[in-house]
A and B are shown apart, each in its own frame.
Chain A
Amino acid sequence: MSGRVIVDCQRLLCPMPVIRVQDVVRTLAPGSLVEARCSDPGALHDIPAWCRINGHRVLATRTTADDEYIVVVEVGEAE
């Protein structure tokens, strides 16, 4: 899939991954996709919670074989 912005959150502990995602989402148009790649499993909980309250959509969450936690977000209309 093209046009997705990758946010590198490796070695960042929560809530830093949320802040990184928030700061990128703020610059994007509704419908854009953001993929956060995290090493703190807390991101699987916190990024979706942040999306729910701020009107964005989580399209997918997954854990890779080498313990990388991925969250894909679609930017909502809210900003």
Chain B
Amino acid sequence: MTEQRKAVALISGGLDSLLAARVIQDQGIHVEGINFFTGFCVEGHTHAIRKKDRAKPKRNNALWVAEQLGIRLHIVDIVEEYKEVVFNPPHGYGANLNPCLDCKIFMVRKAREWIAEHGFDFIITGEVIGQRPMSQRKDTMPVVARDSGADDLLLRPLCARNLPPTRPEREGWIERERLFDFSGRGRKPQMALAARLGLHDYAQPAGGCCFLTDAQYSAKLADLWRARGEKRYEMDDIMLLKVGRHLRPRPHFKVIISREEGEGNFLKGYKRSFISLTTTSCAGPLALIDGEVSEEDLMLVARLVARYSQGKQEETVELEVSDREGNRRALRVRPMAPSEVLEAWHL
């Protein structure tokens, strides 16, 4: 009897990784999935926070893909180790703060370690030559294989026939002829293959698999690093960048203002870490101040927060300020006029 070969598939939750895993399963290989959580993943976070989104059904796409395939999924928390990739990517950033090439190298290296520990034979990804501008180019795909240490144990079933044969192909664990030669940015071949395999209702992420490809998110992260004078973040920081309006009226502090009730409730969880303000004479947002502020700064923030409250047209608005120890006091201020909120403050 021939030995049952085993592969681990990098599952992002998108169509490509779903297809890649499925075509290898169809060749009789035992496949399990691995999904890496970096903290920046485009998952249901804003969904979990924003009240209006909560009513919509939500799903974790990686879990959904695994369920469609009938495979086990191992979710690996790489938040701490991943920081180095975000801070100092040797191959640089993409259009925003997305270190795609080093990110791929890092994840494939992790998968390489995982297969060694778990007695698996090779690694599969849903990469397609030319699909992404940085990590999935003809010249960078061999870099991922080499620098991750996976070498010819890394198989990309969707474009394998455009690449030199890997060990699983050479050893006859799988048939190269039954793999694909997709290339370029188009999605048609993938969609046609999905239809042929009877797969529907899959996720089609637009820009990429994480928030680092988002220009606005990257701008807020860059601002955070500038304000701190170094590249540094904690999990709470990167969560907060996804929530509320962020305004920096002065270089030494920024204000995070909730846009709706769900965000307000989420920000409440941080009242012990930041000075917070909320309106009391009318309905309004909850705001957190990130940075140290003077009395004068505090008045400015109070007027700014009042501007985003129901009382923005009133002569004055009353707010409650709460420090990190929970000491509270009242302030009464005139809401800012729209022209006083400078465009440059918005992050």
Contact = CB atoms under 8 A, between A and B. Distances in A.
- The judgment on whether A and B are partners is yes
Interface of A: 11, 13-16, 18-19, 22-23, 40-42, 45-46, 49-50, 52-55, 78
A49 B57 CA distance: 14
Given A50-B63, A52-B67, A15 B72 contact: no
Nearest to A38: B48
Interface of B: 35, 37, 41, 43-45, 47-49, 54, 57-60, 62-64, 66-67, 70-77, 239, 269
Contact of A45 (B59, B70, B73): B59
Contacts of B44: 13-14, 40, 42
**Residue of B57, B60, B77 most packed against chain A (CB within 10 A):** B60
Contacts of B66: 53
16 contacts: A13-B43, A13-B44, A15-B63, A16-B77, A19-B37, A22-B74, A40-B44, A45-B58, A46-B59, A49-B60, A49-B67, A50-B63, A53-B67, A53-B71, A54-B73, A78-B72
Nearest first, the 5 A-B pairs at minimum CB distance are A49-B63, A40-B48, A46-B60, A13-B45, A53-B66
A49 to B, nearest CB: 4
Contacts of B60: 14-15, 18, 42, 45-46, 49
Contacts of A50: 63, 73, 75
- State the main secondary structure of chain A at its contact with B: helix
Contacts of A18: 60, 63, 75
Contacts of B77: 16, 19, 23
B72 A46 contact: no
A41 B71 contact: no
Contact of A41 (B35, B45, B54): B54
A19 B75 contact: yes
A37 to B, nearest CB: 15
A55 B32 CA distance: 13
Contacts of B45: 13-14
Given A14-B48, A15-B75, A49 B64 contact: yes
B52 to A, nearest CB: 14
Given A41-B54, A46-B63, A15 B37 contact: yes
A50 B33 CA distance: 12
Contacts of B35: 15
Contacts of B76: 19
Contacts of A11: 269
B37 A16 contact: yes
A11 B74 CA distance: 22
A15 B58 CA distance: 12
Given A15-B43, A16-B37, A54-B72, 9 more contacts: A13-B239, A15-B63, A15-B75, A22-B75, A40-B48, A42-B47, A42-B48, A45-B59, A50-B75
A53 B72 contact: yes
A53 B76 CA distance: 16
A40 B54 CA distance: 10
Contact of B73 (A14, A16, A42, A53): A53
